Structure 1
């Protein structure tokens, strides 16, 4: 294709793409500035970042950046030729030289995914002409949409659990210095196939087969299926949990035999786990939250990463991959509601729904399902399955993970939601080879390995800072206490996490100060548990 610079009817430089079939203007050929103003007037940016695909219309980029000076405008250009043509034109290059505009040449899906992973929260706009010129732009848009879906899940989780994470961190810090990190054991189960067990309804139908397969696979259970499996005599090798709430863990404490089970949780998990599970059996992974990233850097406490995709099943898949599993098999991962069932038997959430039911609001799966916009999709056996947007987001995460890692995933739930690029094999058709002794030997070596960290009293550092904030607040008021918070990076990060429910919404100064006061009083109560 040829890239040509010519003047519009009102004498402004514009870009034209010429192909053997047609000519395409990347902006209005008559009044590009007026067109840009009209389009930008209909764009309301609510996020800190705004992504624009296509540098070819600098007038629109200029107009958007001028109206949103506090936002960071990230412009992605897939064509180096278009990029150089615009920057070599003095007039057009000035259009994109504002302080809040960042220009990027992105040519591959991998480069796009890397960029998106570095942006916390964003909206986007695609120059419509680019969809005509570059056929891959539609694929890029799907990647962008999936990323936004995942970010929205993470955002809602932050808003819901900010206070809980802050409390967990304060009360768990001294234990975390004693635990081992998951990064020390990457590839330790190399070439051993793993079964990831979720808590979907199909788990009820696979218990007998799981008993037969137990000696042939590394068994990784999510926390919500752990109690049920234990009650059925199936003891997971590894239990992974990401839920920061206490109630699910307390329910699972019915199982008392923890000696040969490994427990994987993030560094902001409830402190109760450290009082009931042997420290030698706990493997931490780094919380992605800023407060932990700060602590990790200051105290050299890196634990290793596990992906968090909204569902604990996503984390379990990544765990299996990083531990070296050759293939990952999914059991009880339905991502929907086969036969209108929600969970497997004896699941915490199922029992919780029963407990909270009453004569006026009886337990009925349809009451639960009605909370979400239900849609019909195709299952692994070709029949229809009910699911919802949350489950579809988890499905998209798994599909994207397969594409990124080339991991081999076999879905053993016949009635579960169809996941692209996974194999479906009947569970009773899997080959069996007894490697149980090898698995137990590896687990024993992990449990027996000593922790490389010393017992650093991080809690003392943070507690002293929080006490200063509380004292200053009680003596002089909110404004003086904010000075201490601003001048201490740990305190600042900690309060940011606790205030996520307000920071992620529109707020004014009065609302912020009120909520900050509430969090100071909250931390005052938390310190009494130490």
Structure 2
């Protein structure tokens, strides 16, 4: 599509896209100002996303009306980034298809999850008419991101304080830190969807003859172990106590070697983790990074996704430069079968079973509640976009969600990196070939005080104080705004159990 810069009689330029005009032919600034003033924004909007503002007249009008908000310009065409016409200087962030980063990454970097309710999308309707399908696809991706952020926000409101307490508890548990160096072996991510049962035989056979690395979300581990298949790394991110059931199943089982774990620093972890090596994961927030840096610990920084399987994909790309396969990520259920068997929560159903509360009925209610929550739909498109973003690296193994159909395979392909495979190395235990380190952490009695001191120092000055208040305020005091530094400080003292002096 050919965009052209055109002068108007009033001296203000406009743009022709084909036969359509993007701005007024007479007075574009006045047109934009009238449009912005006609919009009724809800109270509390602090972030504006302008979808294809063209030459920026709407951006300038919005900045004039809301001088203290964050404004993000999202361009459908790279034409508007040309130095001779760009007018994005009043925006706080600018993205276009040629920016060098995905729209998802741009939004993650500029919009905190905690602020989903404070975001408003401002559309420029002439741009929608001019760019059609391309415009609508970008609009849909923005809406999907905000829905996911809103879901994360609701979870945070319910579990934020528990996550904060978990973080301090887990810092005390972390006695052996695990670190991996990038490798080239294929990684298989196992979710706990029903389709995992069908692919376990493929994984078992492949594990005998080639170097694959199995990264299992904790809920999928009982099904793997029941088939005699031990994962190489187990991931847990859930902060709720029910997530401990999956980990208890893993720790009780008899395995050839001690299991290795990766865990969000906010996850619910059993006391046995004090004896095991595990890789801590930060969500990239300042408060979590400060806690881990203050202890001098190696860790992985991965965005908060709201679902462990999405975090597993981020972790897989960080660990390996080879192909990544997903299996057991159904993003749905089959009739009343919600997970691969055996599944840890099934014990709860059996324990509550009676004549008037049969396990079959409980399974039906569980399947219905999962469908009603809409959580699968929120993440379906996210995974579909990851498939599109990594066409040469990301594959679907077996009968996962239908969004992966075009990338489905029944076999695993060897790594294509510089590591040369030989008969000897292919038959070797993959854990001996994946470069990994275990660091024994000094048993400092003051670990909690060290961590709390780092957070308290950051609350004392400048920019770090503002960031911490933005992060910890909604976490510790959901629904309260604004939150003072003193209130956050008192909560740190309470959770840490340290003296104010």
TM range (shorter): 0.7 to 0.9
- 1:109 to partner: Cα distance: 6.1
Q: How does 1:341-356 map to 2 (within 5 A)?
A: 341-352=337-348, 355=351
Q: 1:321 to 1:437 in 2, by over 3 A?
A: same
1-side partners of 2:6 and 2:354: how far apart?
71
- Determine if contact 1:56/1:86 at 8 Å carries over to the other structure: no
Match of 1:117 in 2: 108
Match of 2:150 in 1: 152
What count of residue pairs does the alignment treat as equivalent? 469
Match of 2:389 in 1: 404
2-side partners of 1:255 and 1:316: how far apart?
23
Residue number among 69, 92, 101 corresponding to 1:102 in the alignment: 92
- 1:26 to partner: Cα distance: 1.6
Gaps of 5+ in 1: 88-92, 375-387, 470-482
2-side partners of 1:501 and 1:424: how far apart?
39
- Determine if contact 2:33/2:58 at 8 Å carries over to the other structure: yes
- DSSP 3-state at the match of 2:8: strand
What is the TM-score of this pair, normalised by structure 1? 0.72
Q: How does 1:1-400 map to 2 (within 5 A)?
A: 1-7=3-9, 14-18=12-16, 21-27=18-24, 29=26, 33=30, 36-40=33-37, 41-44=39-42, 46-56=44-54, 58-77=56-75, 78-79=77-78, 101-102=91-92, 104=94, 106-108=96-98, 110-111=100-101, 113=103, 114-119=105-110, 120=112, 121=115, 122-134=119-131, 136-176=134-174, 178-181=176-179, 184-187=180-183, 190=184, 192-216=185-209, 217-250=212-245, 251-252=248-249, 253-257=251-255, 259-272=257-270, 275-276=272-273, 278-279=275-276, 281-298=277-294, 300-306=296-302, 308-324=304-320, 326-352=322-348, 355=351, 363-371=361-369, 389-400=374-385
1-side partners of 2:274 and 2:450: how far apart?
26
Gaps of 5+ in 2: 415-422
- 1:451 to partner: Cα distance: 1.6
- 1:14 to partner: Cα distance: 4.7
- 1:52 to partner: Cα distance: 0.9
Q: 1:495 to 1:527 in 2, by over 3 A?
A: farther
- 1:84 to partner: Cα distance: 5.5
Match of 1:419 in 2: 403
1-side partners of 2:466 and 2:176: how far apart?
25
1:7-26 per-position Cα deviation (integer Å, ceiling 9, x unaligned): 5xxxx66543236x524142
1-side partners of 2:461 and 2:206: how far apart?
56
- 1:358 to partner: Cα distance: 7.6
2-side partners of 1:172 and 1:502: how far apart?
18
2-side partners of 1:237 and 1:398: how far apart?
23
Q: 1:522 to 1:55 in 2, by over 3 A?
A: closer
1-side partners of 2:352 and 2:492: how far apart?
27
Residue number among 449, 461, 472 corresponding to 1:460 in the alignment: 449
Q: 1:199 to 1:153 in 2, by over 3 A?
A: same
Q: 1:357 to 1:522 in 2, by over 3 A?
A: farther
2-side partners of 1:82 and 1:5: how far apart?
18
- DSSP 3-state at the match of 1:348: coil
Q: 1:38 to 1:2 in 2, by over 3 A?
A: closer
- 1:436 to partner: Cα distance: 4.9
Match of 2:474 in 1: 500
